[in-house]
Amino acid sequence: MNKMIPEHKTAIVPALLKGIAGTIAVFAVLTALSYQNQLPVDGKLVMGFPWEFYSEGTGYNLERDEYASFENFKPFKLTGNILFAMAVYMLLRLLLRMLAKKGS
């Protein structure tokens, strides 16, 4: 055993990895649930919950008399969505822990 690193300091690594994996899972589920591909209908694709961090689309521009397309990516809203997913994951863990204590 390594005498340089105390035991309690190495125990935080698995907890951090679980937190990161849980946050990624919650973020993926929320993004998949909020995915709206309306390109054939109104020409817009949207991703992001609770904030829309990516959108793209096409449409007809009357002023130029041509079809125009756009693509928007907002990194600050992506960061907000990741932080929201982290908060949801922490609340889910807290609720599950409370339910487990109540059941035993």
Q: Residue 4: its pLDDT value, please?
A: 63
Helical segments of 1-104, H only: 7-10, 12-34, 75-103
Q: Residue 84: its pLDDT value, please?
A: 97
Domain boundaries, the chain: 17-92
Q: How would you write the pLDDT of the chain (104 residues) with one tens digit per residue? A: 556 666 666 677 788 899 999 999 999 999 999 999 887 777 789 999 999 999 998 888 788 888 888 899 999 999 999 999 999 999 999 999 999 988 76
Q: Residue 86: its pLDDT value, please?
A: 96
